[in-house]
Amino acid sequence: MARIVRIGIIGTGKRGLKLLNYILLTEGVEMVAVCDTDFTAAEKAAGICAESGRKIPAVYGGKKDSWKELLRKENPDAVIITTTWDSHAAIAIEAMKMGIYPGVDVPAALSVDDLWQMVGTSEETGVPFMMLENWSFRRDNLALLNMVRLGMFGKIVHCHCAHSHNCIDHWFFDSTTGEPQWQAEYLMKYNRAQYPTHAVGPVLSWMDINRGDIFTEIYTVTSAPSGIYEYFSKKFGEDHPNLKVKYRQGDIVTSILTTRMGKTLVINNDLQLPRPYSNRWLLQGTRGVYDEEKGSIYLADHSPAYQKWEPWQPYEEKFNHRWWQTEFPLTAVRGADFIMLDRFLDAVRTKGRVPLDIYDAAVMSAIVELSGISAEKKMPVPFPDFTNGKWKSSKPYFAL
C-alpha cells in the first residue's frame, strides 16, 4: 500500500483554496493542517476539508508567523506555500531545514540573495524544493516539448514569451472601489517584470536551461505607467485618490536574455493595459517555428506547403504528453494544476526528485529583481549561475 502523504497548506486565499480543492480529489493524501494570517480564512479552509468528507485539519492563524507553529507541531511531509510573495522564501527555507518538502507558489522569492539562500539550504539539507509553476504542465507546452526533444525544430535558437493579462481591476485594485490590494504595493515601489514565471516556466525546458545551458545576462527596458492613470481617470473620475499616487511600474516591460550556448529569449511583462489574456509563446529553431498566439506551426521537414503556416492543434494531439493521457477526477479541474500537484505529491511520497527544482525556481524568480536592476541602470546585468557549474553535466529530466 502506498504511503499516505501528510500535507499542510500555508496561505488559504484564492490560490490556496484552489489547490486545496485539487488535493482533496487526490487519493493517498491527508491534509493535516491549514494556516493563514487571517484565522477566519484558515477556518474556511478547514471547513472545505470537512465538507469533502476528509478529516478536519488543525487550524493555525491570526499571526504573521503562525506558520512556524504549524511546521513545529504538525511536522508534515510537505507544505504548499501560497502566501504573499515576500514571505515565500522564509517559510520554504525553514521547511527544508526541518526535512519538509516545500511546494511554493510563484515567484519563489523576490531577491537574488533569498534565492541563493534557498539554493544553499536545499543543497545542504538534501530536501527538494518544488516550484508550483503550473503553466509548465499545460497540454500544449508539454506536446511542444516532446517535439523539441524529437529534434523536429532542429537546434533551438530563440524563444519569446509574455505574461499579457490585464490585472489592474482585480489583482492590483478592487474593481468597485479602486481600493489597493496587497499586490498594488509593488507597482508603487518597483519598475520591473513583476510576474515572469508563467511565461518563462515552459521555456526553461525547451531551451535546456540549467541542463546544458544557462542564462548569462539580462537587459530590460520599460514603458511609462500610462495605463494605470488612464484606468482610474476613465473609471472613477479625475478626483480619485489613486490618481495622486506615484506609480513606478511601467505598463510594458521587455527583457532580453542571452545564454551561454548562443540562444536568445525575449520576455514581456504586460499587466496593466486592456487586452485579452495571452502568453505569446514563440519557439524558433534551425528547422522550424511555433507560434502559440497564432495557433500555428511551420516545420521545414514536415509541413506540406513551403513556408506556409499549419494549424497547431493536430500536432498537439499527435504529440500529446503521457501526463495528459488520463482522465481527471472532475471536468472542473484545471489539468495543468492537477498534474503539477500529482507530480509533486508523488515525489514527496517516494522521497524522490521534483519536476521543477530549486534551480528552476531560482532562474524563473531571479528575473523579477534582475529586470528591475537592469531597467534602473539602463544596461545589461549578469545572470547568476545558481547551479554553480552543474549545468554543464546535468541532463534534461523534466517531463521525460
pLDDT in tens, 371-382: 999 999 999 999
Mean pLDDT for 107-132 is 98
State how far the Cα of 82 lies from the Cα of 36, in Å rounded to an integer.
10
Residue 328 pLDDT level (bands cut at 50, 70, 90): confident
Say whether pLDDT at 150 is over 80. yes
* Assigned C-alpha cell, 207: 531551451
3 pLDDT band, cuts 50/70/90, is confident
pLDDT at 333 over 80: no
What's the chain's average pLDDT?
96
User: pLDDT tier at 213 (50, 70, 90 boundaries)?
Assistant: very high
> Once rounded to an integer, what is the mean pLDDT over residues 57-86?
97
Q: Residue 277 has what pLDDT?
A: 95
CA-to-CA distance for 264 and 285, rounded, in angstroms?
A: 11
In this prediction, what percent of the chain has a pLDDT beyond 70? 100
Q: Which of 362, 359, 355 lies closest to 391, judged by CA?
A: 359
Asked if pLDDT for residue 339 goes beyond 90, the answer is yes
Domain 135-324+357-392 classified CATH 3.30.360.10?
yes
Quickly state the pLDDT bin for 81 (edges 50, 70, 90).
very high
pLDDT for the residue numbered 2:
73
> What is the structure's pLDDT at 330?
78
Q: For domain 5-133, is the CATH number 3.40.50.2300? A: no
Q: How confident is the model at residue 326 (pLDDT cuts 50, 70, 90)?
A: confident
What pLDDT sits at residue 331? Answer: 72
Kindly tell me if the per-residue pLDDT of 352 is higher than 60.
yes
Instruction: Tell me the C-alpha distance between 160 and 85, whole Å.
Output: 25
Could you tell me where in the chain the CATH 3.40.50.720 domains are found? 5-133
So what's the pLDDT on residue 327? 85
Mean pLDDT of the region 344-358: 97
Half-sphere CA count of 363, side-chain side, radius 13 A: 29
The pLDDT, as a whole number, for residue 172 is: 96
Kindly state the DSSP code that residue 324 receives in the 8-state scheme: G
385 contacts 260 by C-beta, under 8 angstroms? no
**1 pLDDT exceeds 70?**
no
Inform me whether the pLDDT recorded for 332 exceeds 90: no
Q: What are the residue ranges of CATH 3.30.360.10 in the chain?
A: 135-324+357-392
Contact assessment for residue 79 and residue 102, using Cβ atoms and an 8 Å cutoff? yes
49 pLDDT higher than 60? yes
